[in-house]
Structure 1
Amino acid sequence: MPDKQEGTAQDSIGAWAKRCYFAGRDVMDSVLRPHGLGSVQWYVLHRLATVGPVIQRDLGRLLEIERATMSGIVATLVRKGLVEQVPDQADQRQKLLRLTDAGAKLWTTLPDLSFIRAVAFGGMDAADIETAIGVLRTATERLESLLEKGNRP
């Protein structure tokens, strides 16, 4: 006899949100692979190219990446010569990240990834998209609040 819970879990909003996220990330990775980049490396380069230098710790928080993971990503980008780490002038203990000339040049050659959003959501009703965003935002905020309060069900 099939488990009703299993079927429900596979069709849940959380399962579909996760599948959509991973599918988008897989497309992104496949497009970036010929350029020697992964999606998280792209996010670091995107931030540095569009906003400018940033403290490594702050970027990790912004991208919600564990400290050790962020260190590995940055080390890889530094090794590739795309990013440089320098001590922050205001706080020498902090590492300031900025694009190198090679990183800036690579950035200009990377494909525009906005097609991923267009493929995923193109032709959908704007109100439906806003509703989905609202539902996911509210659910996320509730769960984050639960964690912040140290509550457990």
Structure 2
Amino acid sequence: MSEPPPEPTSIGTWAKRYYYANRAAVEAVLRPHGLGSTQWAVLYELTTSGPTSQRDLGRVLHIERASLSGVVATLVRKGLVEQTPSETDQRQRLVMLTDAGRSVWKKLPDPFAEVRTVALEGVDAGEVATAIRVLERATAQVERHSFG
């Protein structure tokens, strides 16, 4: 017996629909620049935090190791980042922006801010704050609960 589809008015349904709409819009903003949202996130993190071990980059961005390896490899091929062995642990790779990466970064829009501006146009700041609080609390409660 299959599960019934989620209610069209449930908070989970709307959170998921917003996530997918937001992701598609961010990808559309970045497409002319030849980047995807995960590549942008890696460049953002390296711009704001400086050289970072690939392991720490994955933790900060919540990206699985195999996925991050592919993203970093693509950015290396594009000449935007480089990898070097870590001075403290030769098994680890340090990822850093190249000069070309810094130059490209300066020209990139912030796709998340651009999409957020469109998404929240006309929405009261108090309503946005309430939505954030509700989703934060619901997420924390689900993560703490033991299902199964």
Q: Normalising by the residue count of structure 2, what TM-score does the alignment of the two structures yield?
A: 0.90
User: What secondary structure, in the 3-state scheme, does the structure 2 residue paired with 1:9 have?
Assistant: coil
The amino acid that maps onto 2:135 is L
**Corresponding residue for 1:32?**
30
> Are 1:21 and 2:16 matched, yes or no?
no
The amino acid that maps onto 2:14 is W
Q: Note the residue ranges of structure 1 that are not aligned, 5 or more in a row.
A: none
Pairing of 1:101-120 with structure 2 (within 5 A): 101-113=99-111, 114-120=113-119
Separation in 2, partners of 1:58, 1:15: 32
The amino acid that maps onto 1:141 is A
How far 1:152 moved relative to its partner?
2.3
How far 1:15 moved relative to its partner?
1.2
Once superposed, which parts of structure 1, at least 4 consecutive aligned residues long, lie more than 4 Å away? none
**Corresponding residue for 1:10?**
8
Q: Note the residue ranges of structure 2 that are not aligned, 5 or more in a row.
A: none
The amino acid that maps onto 2:133 is G
Separation in 2, partners of 1:53, 1:124: 38
How far 1:129 moved relative to its partner?
0.9
**Corresponding residue for 2:147?**
152
The amino acid that maps onto 2:29 is V
How far 1:139 moved relative to its partner?
1.3
Identity of aligned residues (%): 56
The amino acid that maps onto 1:145 is R
Per mean C-alpha deviation after superposition, the further-off stretch among 84-93 and 68-77 is 84-93
Separation in 1, partners of 2:9, 2:57: 34
Separation in 1, partners of 2:101, 2:90: 24
How far 1:51 moved relative to its partner?
2.0
Separation in 2, partners of 1:73, 1:39: 10
Separation in 2, partners of 1:92, 1:10: 51
Separation in 2, partners of 1:75, 1:136: 34
Cα gap change, 1:112/1:64 in structure 2, threshold over 3 Å: closer, same or farther?
Answer: closer
How far 1:112 moved relative to its partner?
3.3
Separation in 2, partners of 1:49, 1:143: 33
How far 1:10 moved relative to its partner?
2.6
How far 1:141 moved relative to its partner?
1.2
CA RMSD of aligned residues (A): 1.4
How far 1:142 moved relative to its partner?
1.7
Separation in 2, partners of 1:96, 1:144: 31
Deviations 1:106-144, CA, capped at 9 Å, x for gaps: 111112322211111132111111111111111111222
How far 1:62 moved relative to its partner?
1.4
